[in-house]
Structure 1
Amino acid sequence: MRICHVRGLNAALLLGVLGSLPVNASSQEVKQGSAIYTCTNAAGRTLTRDRPIAECLDREQRVLNSDGSLRTVLQPSLTSDERAAQEEADRRKAQERANKQEAIRRDRNLLARFPNEAAHNKARDAALNATRSGIQTSEQRLADLQKERKPLLDEAEFYKGKNLPGKLKGQIESVDVSIEAQRALIVNQQAEVGRVTALFDAELARLKRLWGGADPGSLGPLPQSALAGQAAPPPKP
């Protein structure tokens, strides 16, 4: 009878141990899944908690696994001013990346449009020819106006010391206004020739470096001539 009692007691103990295993395993899993937060506060003291540490919101907090290995790092919480500054810095970096990609794209377009200097010279001539032709037209118009003005001035000689007739006076003033307008137009057209020439010179200098092996997008800001040159179709051969 005593032997049976002992065996029954051992069986009960064994069942109790087995029944406790799932509970212990589950507890161990929770423990392994928990995080440990640690930081050094403003006074130089190391703090450890099982949740983010309020005293260290303004500084870095290390998040550890239960075995002491590093899980992640919490960056300091930012003030509104710091957050605004960070957002501005991020915006600038994003803009710089976008500008870099745009410069690469435009440089590649330049190389595709102008594989050599001869092709670029054709584009330069095409851009300048229209303006030069306009200057010639304006100069011819100016010469015609000056011819129109001469007989009017000759007629005005008969009225020296007197008031000019209204019609003659109006004709002379009209021609003079047209002459001044034509002269101003020629000045603007000549300035345009200089501007286009300078832009194509800057573009050619960039292209020579690209033809020489420079990486697209590595040459800094793109000259405005590149923008203008890519907007217009290349000249026909």
Structure 2
Amino acid sequence: MASRRSLEVLAALLLGLTLANTAGAKVYCCEDADGRRQCGDVLPQACYGRSYREMGPQGTIKRQIAAPLSADEISRRNAAERQRQDDEARHAQQRRFDQALLETYPSVDDLDRRRDREVADIQRAIDEARKRDKELRSKRLRFEKDAELFKGRDLPRDLAANLRSIDSELASHNRTIEERTRALEATRARFEADRARYLELSSAAAKR
């Protein structure tokens, strides 16, 4: 059995070399599904969908052609390419950010002063909103005392309107306070991250 297989391989090789020795001829060879060598001056049917070699004169390999990718391999290749592009985009964005950070702040002290100004502006807005909220709640208490005089009866139209208006304004101020409090926390976190990155970039530049 081994002898027969050896003869088949030898015959295929001799065929490939014979075809290759033809002036300017190209020969295409591959191993078929059973591991047997298949060669021809046109791509043998058994080589379709498989890797093959393009042979030149004297049996030299001119090209090695890989087998076509499977659908799963194509999907993995495309996913890897998208990941590579995403990584490149992130790195480019980080480089732009780093450059802008260094150009914006001549020193870390300048960054700290900018942080303190922005934090103070937001805190001032929160304090003003809270002050107004306190005024509105005091005003509502007066309306509530007036409303107690009409317990069990319909409130006068203007008193009911005043209560609805003040409740609406209180709700609006409550949303404003919540939003500005979140903005304050985000601003502090952003400057903390920027400061750490600034120090990291400055330290790296000093070592160069």
Q: Percent identity?
A: 24
State the alpha-carbon separation in 1 of the partners of residues 141 and 63 from structure 2. Answer: 91
Sort the Cα spacing of 1:124 and 1:147 in 2 relative to 1 into closer, same or farther, 3 A.
same
State the alpha-carbon separation in 2 of the partners of residues 66 and 166 from structure 1. Answer: 106
State the alpha-carbon separation in 2 of the partners of residues 192 and 102 from structure 1. Answer: 24
State the alpha-carbon separation in 1 of the partners of residues 121 and 23 from structure 2. Answer: 79
Sort the Cα spacing of 1:109 and 1:69 in 2 relative to 1 into closer, same or farther, 3 A.
farther
Query: Match for 2:80 among 89, 102, 110?
Result: 89
User: Residue 190 in 1 paired to residue 181 in 2?
Assistant: yes
TM-score normalised per structure 1: 0.63
Query: Match for 1:46 among 37, 43, 47?
Result: 37
Query: Match for 2:157 among 158, 166, 176?
Result: 166
Alignment partner, residue 16 of structure 1: none
State the alpha-carbon separation in 2 of the partners of residues 68 and 207 from structure 1. Answer: 63
State the alpha-carbon separation in 2 of the partners of residues 211 and 57 from structure 1. Answer: 59
State the alpha-carbon separation in 2 of the partners of residues 125 and 53 from structure 1. Answer: 76
State the alpha-carbon separation in 1 of the partners of residues 122 and 136 from structure 2. Answer: 21
Three-state SS of the structure 1 residue aligned to 2:204 is coil
How far residue 165 of structure 1 moved from its aligned partner, in angstroms, is: 2.2
User: Residue 66 in 1 paired to residue 57 in 2?
Assistant: yes
State the alpha-carbon separation in 2 of the partners of residues 162 and 136 from structure 1. Answer: 39
How far residue 74 of structure 1 moved from its aligned partner, in angstroms, is: 0.9
Three-state SS of the structure 2 residue aligned to 1:212 is helix
The answer to whether the 8 A contact 1:57-1:77 is kept is: no
Greater RCO structure (CA 8 Å; 6+ sep)? 1
Sort the Cα spacing of 1:59 and 1:134 in 2 relative to 1 into closer, same or farther, 3 A.
same
Q: After superposition, what is the alpha-carbon deviation per residue over 1:18-66, rounded to whole angstroms, capped at 9, x for unaligned? A: xxxxxxxxxxxx9564433232222122233333343233332222332
Alignment partner, residue 4 of structure 2: none
Three-state SS of the structure 1 residue aligned to 2:30 is strand
How far residue 80 of structure 1 moved from its aligned partner, in angstroms, is: 4.8
Three-state SS of the structure 1 residue aligned to 2:57 is coil
Return the letter of the residue paired with 2:194.
E
TM-score normalised per structure 2: 0.70
Sort the Cα spacing of 1:122 and 1:31 in 2 relative to 1 into closer, same or farther, 3 A.
farther
User: Residue 202 in 1 paired to residue 182 in 2?
Assistant: no
Q: Higher Cα Rg: structure 1 or 2? A: 1
| 5+ residue gaps, structure 1 | 1-29, 215-237
State the alpha-carbon separation in 1 of the partners of residues 44 and 101 from structure 2. Answer: 56
User: Residue 118 in 1 paired to residue 109 in 2?
Assistant: yes
Single out whichever of 190-199 and 109-118 deviates more from structure 2: 109-118
